[in-house]
Amino acid sequence: MIPPLIVQAAVEHGLNLIAISDHNASDNVSAVIEAAEGSDLTVLPGMELQTQEDVHVLCLFDTLEQLLKFQSLVDENLPDIENNSELFGEQFVVDKTGDFLKRKKQLLITSTGLSFNKAFHAVTDLGGLFIPAHVNRKMFGLFYHLGFVPPDLPIEALELSRHITITEAWKQYPQTQNYPLIQSGDVHYLDDFLGANQFFIKNPTISELKLALRNEEGRHFSVCQPS
């Protein structure tokens, strides 16, 4: 999973928009953005945040600056524990060619001290998009941990894992009927591409993605199966 190979694999799958969303981290995002320069691929800066309640959330931004601001808040809320690479694997930071730059010391696999609601406001105040991820899963899914989507937060969309169909989700978690549902590729390895969401938008920006999720101004989206 080095930047040039990520770009190559995305292009081969016919994608022109991806997001890099590492767990509580953003150190490798700029390398992938740089690796995609000159290609038709747009890379959105993102993060998979693990909230205080152990809920995973996809946080997407337009710019690296926004992401880095969010990262500093996340860093303040990560416990001061060093990674044990034997237990949790390596946490490498690489450059755009995939060359090793450093090891990230701070343990990233854990939950942050940021509550779900605080994180929602932090992401949206920065202009980002906050999408609870794989909400149907027992591990780190919103429904298991929080019981239901907090009704007082204007959440734009929910993401389902590929373990469930949208109609099954509507049955099992009726609240999903009230939200736009996406099913992302969730690519952890180059060869486990699980599919994509197709967005009909003018530009690859957060505001356009929001319009598509809301089915407004001619923008729309659909969930695609892997080809």
Residues 8, 9, 12, 13: is their CA dihedral positive or negative?
negative
Q: Residue 146 interacts with another protein (CB under 8 A)?
A: yes
Q: Are 197 and 224 in contact (CB under 8 A)?
A: yes
**DSSP state for residue 188 in the 8-state scheme:** S
143 belongs to the binding site for another protein (CB under 8 A): yes
Instruction: Compute the C-alpha angle 145/76/29, nearest 5°.
Output: 85
Interface with another protein (CB under 8 A), residue from 90, 148, 172, 217: 148
Residue 184 and residue 196 in contact, taking contact as beta carbons nearer than 8 Å: yes
Q: Is 144 in the site for another protein (CB under 8 A)?
A: yes
Collapsed DSSP state (helix, strand, coil) of residue 111:
coil
Write out the two tokens for 151: 């009704």
Q: Which of 14, 38, 147, 154 binds another protein (CB under 8 A)?
A: 147
Q: Does 79 bind another protein (CB under 8 A)?
A: no
Q: Name the nearest CA neighbour of 114 among 28, 55, 29.
A: 55
Task: Work out whether 110 is an interface residue with another protein (CB under 8 A).
Answer: no
Query: Of the ranges 25-33, 41-49, 88-96, 137-145, which one interacts with another protein (CB under 8 A)?
Result: 137-145
Per-residue x/- marks for another protein, 51-70, CB under 8 A?
-xx-----------------
Tell me, what amino acid is at 191? D
Indicate whether 226 belongs to the interface with another protein (CB under 8 A): no
C-alpha 83/C-alpha 61 separation (Å) is: 27
- Our CB check for another protein shows the closer of 116 and 221 to be 116
Q: Is 120 in the site for another protein (CB under 8 A)?
A: no
Kindly state the number of chain residues that form the binding site for another protein, as judged by CB under 8 A.
14
Interface with another protein, residue 38, by CB under 8 A = no
Residues interacting with another protein, by CB under 8 A? 52-53, 115-118, 143-148, 150, 152
